[in-house]
Structure 1
Amino acid sequence: MLARTLGIALCVALAQTPAEAAGKQVRLAYVEWADAVVATNILKQVLEEKGFQVKTIPLAAAAMWQAVATGDADASVAAWLPVTQGAYYEKLKDRLEVVGPNVTGARIGWAVPTYSPLNSIEDLKTKSAAVGGQVIGIDPGAGVMKSSEAAIKAYGLPVKLVDGSDATMTSALKDAVRQKKDIVVTAWTPHWMFARYDLKYLADPKKSFGNDETVNTLARKGLKEDMPEAYAILKKFKLTTKDEEAVMAQNEERGAKPSETAAKWIANNRATVDGWLK
């Protein structure tokens, strides 16, 4: 019953309008992570400058990849590779196109406040009590959570990985920093928390979290031929981790709207945007 309900919900979310059928609407699938919200809103407005109607579709990571692979979504700019979403890539790589990186220098791992005496994941073998024997995580299906489970096993750590969400994780971090307490959280760059708090990644000598990641643009098969102008923009679309983290931090301010912060970024980076539109 749950699978059927989810299937119906996904079909409704991805239902085509007459504008889509005419080939002038671009459907962008994304995961509701802070970085993906920033990138998707910026790309949406840039495509709209070229006369496209853009429909943004928030989905879980697995559903996002599946939507692009089946052609129910035209593209996504929220694909983390090679580790975080590597399993989805291996399963669906022949059914979609990885256009290329739109953010480089991304990474995942565990982070702590810079005042923490912890410097390496290995330190938690003997100092887990300092963080209550917990690593504060996000949604259980996320790639960083799977890597976290692998890290706990690889290092033989006496800690529990706590499920939650981006919001609950950052709320716990905020409380800990305010009280100058130690905490370990699942982390990734780019993320607004690195712009707001002084944080450091714990060293990962066993490479449970891999090396640097890239955030990639996905396109459905045939998009290049069907919408060459939109595809050309997708091909050129690139952001820096610094840019994304700055806009993410703005989005966390009270009353902020992602569409407005995206518009502000575009206005302040007109030369970059014009380069995508050439």
Structure 2
Amino acid sequence: MIKKSMQFSTLALAMGLAVSTAQAQDKGTVHLAYVEWSDAVASTNVVRAVLEQAGFEVDITSLSAAAMWQSVATGDADAMTTAWLPTTHADYYERLKDQVVDLGVSLDGTKLGLVVPSSSEMESIADINEYADGIDGKITGIDPGAGIMSLTEEVIEAYDLDVNLQSGSGATMTAALQDAVNNDEDIVVTGWTPHWKFARWDLKYLEDPENVFGGAEQIHTIARIGLEEDMPEAYAILDAFEWTPEEMGEVQLMNQEEGSDPYENAKKWVEENQDLVQEWLPES
């Protein structure tokens, strides 16, 4: 009798898992595009974990900023959680706004600018020329397709700076920043908030009296046209997704731990923050 009961329980569990898997497959696959920026990695993986909790399959694809916007506009990707508006991604948005759906703000309280160690004597972007030799005549940037890079080119022109903008990636920028901080050297890097580097090192933004970088920005979630009709539940989750810079910062710091996996970190964070996650999930 006990043996039969155990067999029945095992069979029921197997059937339950099969039904759960079938339901997930029936809901379809959500394709998310993102850029290899710390904020995008954090938000994309958290949304992935939440969509999976709701029963969806999720694929994520790393692209350049331009390709990310284009992939949502063409429908190759269903959504992205990394639209910096109204300034950083203004060009992409103006060109593609009729081909995408803006789901609104997912994070409020961002900032863009040029960042230096707090020990630096530079206080304003206008001071850079005076200290150009100490920073090897360059501003250390990230990938060339990023909106902050084109804004920094405008800054160089507006302030008549005698420096070059060096492109690279988020990783090369933070590596250069770490070396400069460790060696008590000056450096100017492209910076934005939220970013884990402000929790790791003592840094400051250079004042921007010409206001080229603009004021505070917001991060928006952008979806493809037709997603609401094709996958209304996934659309509702993406539409409801909203968190704070502090909450994002928790995930960003987890991702900086050596050997950590952003996806596993996101799943752990989602598991530990179910009260917030439930606000993003549609009522059953």
Global fold match (TM > 0.5): yes
1:175-219 per-position Cα deviation (integer Å, ceiling 9, x unaligned): 011111111101111111111111111111111111111111001
Offset of residue 75 of structure 1: 0.7
Pick from 205, 216, 220 the counterpart of residue 201 of structure 1.
Answer: 205
Contact 1:194–1:245 (Cα < 8 Å) also in 2: no
Q: 2:33 maps to which residue?
A: 29
Aligned residues: 260
Q: 1:241 maps to which residue?
A: 245
Q: 1:106 maps to which residue?
A: 110
- 1:55 equivalent in alignment to 2:59: yes
- 1:78 equivalent in alignment to 2:74: no
Q: 2:7 maps to which residue?
A: none
The residue type paired with residue 195 of structure 1 is: A
Offset of residue 263 of structure 1: 1.6
- 1:64 equivalent in alignment to 2:68: yes
Task: State the distance in 1 between where 2:54 and 2:229 align.
Answer: 17
- 1:267 equivalent in alignment to 2:271: yes
The residue type paired with residue 277 of structure 2 is: V
Task: State the distance in 2 between where 1:147 and 1:52 align.
Answer: 37
The residue type paired with residue 234 of structure 1 is: L
Task: State the distance in 1 between where 2:206 and 2:189 align.
Answer: 10
Offset of residue 239 of structure 1: 1.9
Task: State the distance in 1 between where 2:61 and 2:37 align.
Answer: 13
Matches within 5 A, 1:220-239: 220-239=224-243
1:129-154 per-position Cα deviation (integer Å, ceiling 9, x unaligned): 23222111111121111111100000
Offset of residue 128 of structure 1: 2.0
Task: State the distance in 2 between where 1:125 and 1:55 align.
Answer: 46
Matches within 5 A, 1:177-192: 177-192=181-196
Please state whether the residue corresponding to 1:203 is helix, strand or coil. Answer: coil
Task: State the distance in 1 between where 2:73 and 2:26 align.
Answer: 20
- Structure 1: segments with no counterpart, 5+ residues: 1-18
Task: State the distance in 2 between where 1:94 and 1:115 align.
Answer: 46
Contact 1:121–1:204 (Cα < 8 Å) also in 2: yes
Q: 1:136 maps to which residue?
A: 140
Contact 1:192–1:249 (Cα < 8 Å) also in 2: yes
Task: State the distance in 1 between where 2:83 and 2:27 align.
Answer: 24
Matches within 5 A, 1:119-134: 119-134=123-138
Contact 1:23–1:226 (Cα < 8 Å) also in 2: no
- 1:161 equivalent in alignment to 2:170: no
Contact 1:30–1:64 (Cα < 8 Å) also in 2: yes
Offset of residue 23 of structure 1: 5.6
Task: State the distance in 2 between where 1:243 and 1:196 align.
Answer: 16
What TM-score, normalized by structure 2, do the two folds share? Answer: 0.88
Q: 1:3 maps to which residue?
A: none
Task: State the distance in 1 between where 2:265 and 2:128 align.
Answer: 39
- Structure 2: segments with no counterpart, 5+ residues: 1-22
Task: State the distance in 1 between where 2:194 and 2:214 align.
Answer: 16
Q: 1:219 maps to which residue?
A: 223
Contact 2:25–2:56 (Cα < 8 Å) also in 1: no
Pick from 150, 153, 178 the counterpart of residue 154 of structure 2.
Answer: 150
Task: State the distance in 1 between where 2:240 and 2:203 align.
Answer: 31
Task: State the distance in 2 between where 1:145 and 1:205 align.
Answer: 19
Contact 1:73–1:220 (Cα < 8 Å) also in 2: yes
Question: Looking at CA atoms only, which structure, 1 or 2, has the larger radius of gyration?
Answer: 2
Identity of aligned residues (%): 51
Contact 1:35–1:191 (Cα < 8 Å) also in 2: yes
